[in-house]
Amino acid sequence: EVQLLESGGGLVQPGGSLRLSCTDSGFTFTSCAMSWVRQTPGKGLEWVSAISGSGAVTYYADSVKGRFIISRDNSKNTLYLQMDSLRAEDTAVYFCGGWPEGSHSKLDYWGQGTLVTVSS
Amino acid sequence: EVVMTQSPLSLSVTLGQAASISCRSSQRLEYTDGNTYLNWFQQRPGQSPRRLIYQVSNRDSGVPDRFSGSGSGTDFTLKISRVEAEDVGFYYCMQPIHWPLTFGQGTKVEIK
């Protein structure tokens, strides 16, 4: 069973950086594509970025392209999101999600989320 | 970008009654394999989203059979046959085949 646990959220000033982590304890990490999805307080869901199982292929939403980098370390069963040049509008709960590589349905699994607050 | 439009955005339902949520996509959600892909997620208060339905009408493991999905092309529906108290929360449709992945605005379901 996939169990995803995010960490790394917190308060950061505008223009600052933060790195989120997502660890899978279900021993299926390397066979899963992974993604980050965020939810602004009181609002809906916004897909942020995705990465293939090998890490060779990545996708980004236009709103974060050039500022965020998704990566993974399969030896550590860990997904990362490096967030630079943070803006107030990046304030959100960030969820990691995964799905078996090759599945077109996506986002079978979700973590519990970590809150990022961008404020001075 | 594929725009997903849900209606209604809010639904107040009597316990035991049926509820229906509509989702419309700005592009057809048929993949090159000939299948149509559309997900429904439930988010209970204070919880992470949970996928209920994938590929339009397939229930995920553990999802009660009172939840059903239907539709084709660009028009999709999630139905709850008999609403229970644990069904309170938000419901989102999502298209998983065109990048960027996109969600509907969400529909809030509450008990009348």
Rounded to 5 degrees, what angle do the CA atoms A37, A39, A41 make? 165
Tokens of residue B105, six digits: 């605005």
Q: Which residues contact B62 (CB under 8 A, 6 or more apart)?
A: none
For B96, the closest of A62, A104, A111 (CB atoms) is: A104
3-state SS of chain B is CCCEEEECCEEEECCCCCEEEEEEECCCCECCCCCECCEEEEECCCCCCEEEEECCCEECCCCCCCEEEEEECCEEEEEECCCCHHHCEEEEEEECCCCCCEECCCEEEEEC
The answer on pLDDT for A114 being more than 80 is yes
Residues of B in contact with A104 (CB under 8 A): 31, 33, 35, 37, 55, 96-97
Report residue B8 CA to chain centroid gap: 12
Tokens of residue B62, six digits: 């553990």
* pLDDT at site A81: 98
Residues linked to residue B72 through DSSP beta bridges, in sequence order: B75
Q: Assign A28 a pLDDT band (cuts: 50, 70, 90).
A: confident
Rounded-to-integer distance, Cα A88 and Cα A8, Å: 17
pLDDT tens per residue across span B2-19: 999 999 999 999 999 999
**Chain B closest-CA separation from residue A60 CA (Å):** 7
Of chain A, the percentage scoring pLDDT greater than 90 comes to 88
Out of A1-5, A102-106, B63-67, least confident range: A1-5
For B50, the closest of A59, A106, A110 (CB atoms) is: A110
Q: Which of B60, B93, B101 to mutate to test the interface with A (most CBs of A within 10 A)?
A: B101
Residues of B in contact with A105 (CB under 8 A): 37, 39, 51, 54-55, 96
For A104, the closest of B37, B48, B100 (CB atoms) is: B37
Residue of B nearest to A113 (CA): B48
Out of A29-33, A61-65, B69-73, least confident range: A29-33
pLDDT tens per residue across span B39-98: 999 999 999 999 999 999 999 999 999 999 999 999 999 999 999 999 999 999 999 999
Residues of A in contact with B37 (CB under 8 A): 104-105
- C-alpha dihedral sign at B40, A78, A39, B13: positive
